[in-house]
Amino acid sequence: VPVFLFVAAPYIRRYVAGGRCKSTARLEGKVVIITGANTGIGKETARDLARRGKVIIACRDIAKGEAAASEIRAETGNQQIIVKKLDLADTKSIREFAEKFLAEEKELHILINNAGVMLCPYSKTADGFEMHLGVNHLGHFLLTFLLLERLKQSAPARIVNVSSLAHHGGRIRFHDLHGEKSYNRGLAYCHSKLANVLFTRELARRLQGKFQRQAEFTANALHPGSVSSELVRHSFVMTWLWKIFSFFLKTPCEGAQTSIYCAVAEELDSVTGQYFSDCQPAYVSPRGRDVETAKKLWSVSCELLGIQWD
């Protein structure tokens, strides 16, 4: 068995690594925002896109963000790596980030909604939203809403939402969105990742027909794979398992490939409302394809955030 494992190891690793983004597209003169790009797959996405154009790292921990930016600047030679404060668990912070960005930047071509929380003990955001729903869905929903006009003005533009295979285990519990009646942190994560898929598909549906060419504006979601990252930090058991089975997990660089692919691949110029994994189309759960649920979630999200988005 040890000999077999030794021989098979490179093939296993290649399989685990999954697809790679082969696009060499340049982003000169273009602006990219990546949320949560101070660590994990967000940081690796920023590292790749920094070789192509201007990247704004939007994160809660400015010190970690600056450390990541400094490393990326040194490695790529691109000085246009900017760090901005953004706490997705606080709508005031999201609005302040958007206001400053819109005042300073005249264009936005790619928005990658990457940041996320996973397996949090029950807690609420500054606005009283359950943490997974608040950060993973509502925070990015509001951020996208606030930046949408700038994206439209800068078209062709892309929105990339990092979801997960976990969306298959999710459901939108409109009767208990904030988990006050019953709460399971694993399921709460699944619910929020389903919300990412539904949001992406509804956004794409609403944008269709609004442009002369569909290639001018696209929105897609993705599953990055099972990645060795800090995302499981709230669970001792998952942290332990992640260490034991790290050989069978993607590295953050491997996990970032589908995000990069959705952001730059030329063949996706006119592809919108889709879900990808390993740089190719992937299966969406029946709940993720439910148009009525998507419409209702959109409406409820607007209500919770106090916005009108028609």
> Is the pLDDT higher at 230 or at 217?
217
> Band of the pLDDT at 251, cuts 50, 70, 90?
confident
Residue 174: count of CB within 10 angstroms of its CB: 10
- In which order are the strands placed within the sheet that holds 217-223? 81-85, 53-59, 27-35, 110-113, 157-162, 217-223, 275-277, 280-281
Which positions ≥6 away from 135 have C-beta within 8 Å?
A: 88, 89, 115, 116, 117, 125, 192
For residue 179, the domain's CATH number is 3.40.50.720
Element (H, E) at 56: strand 53-59
User: What is the residue whose two structure tokens read 């005042």?
Assistant: 103
Give pLDDT, residue 107: 97
> Nearest CA to 123 among 193, 180, 190?
180
Give pLDDT, residue 249: 78
Which positions ≥6 away from 142 have C-beta within 8 Å?
A: 91, 94, 95, 305, 307
Q: Picking from 10-14, 86-90, 150-154, 263-267, which range would have the lowest pLDDT averaged per residue?
A: 10-14
- Residue 236 pLDDT > 70, yes or no? no
Give pLDDT, residue 241: 55
pLDDT in tens, 281-296: 999 999 999 999 999 9
User: What is the residue whose two structure tokens read 């998952």?
Assistant: 238
Catalytic status, residue 15: no
Give pLDDT, residue 5: 45
Residue 127: count of CB within 10 angstroms of its CB: 17
The boundaries of the domain holding residue 169 are: 1-305
Share of the chain above pLDDT 90, in %: 81
Residue 295 lies in a domain: yes
> Band of the pLDDT at 240, cuts 50, 70, 90?
low
Give pLDDT, residue 239: 58
Q: Mean pLDDT over residues 227-244, rounded?
A: 56
Q: Contact at 8 Å (CB) between 274 and 220?
A: yes
Residue 2 lies in a domain: yes
Residue 156 lies in a domain: yes
Give pLDDT, residue 73: 98
Strand, coil or helix: 109: coil
Q: What is the count of structural domains for the chain?
A: 1
Mean pLDDT of the chain: 90
Give pLDDT, residue 13: 47
Share of the chain above pLDDT 70, in %: 85
Q: Catalytic pick from 11, 122, 183, 189?
A: 189
Residue 47 lies in a domain: yes
Give pLDDT, residue 1: 43
Residue 310 lies in a domain: no
> Nearest CA to 65 among 93, 43, 48?
43
Give pLDDT, residue 11: 47
Residue 158 lies in a domain: yes
- Residue 243 pLDDT > 90, yes or no? no
> Is the pLDDT higher at 212 or at 104?
104
Name the CA radius of gyration of the chain, rounded.
19
pLDDT in tens, 123-170: 999 999 999 999 999 999 999 999 999 999 999 999 999 999 999 999
- Residue 171 pLDDT > 70, yes or no? yes
- Residue 208 pLDDT > 90, yes or no? no
Q: Mean pLDDT over residues 231-251, rounded?
A: 59
What pTM did the predictor assign? 0.91
Give pLDDT, residue 92: 98
pLDDT in tens, 81-133: 999 999 999 999 999 999 999 999 999 999 999 999 999 999 999 999 999 99
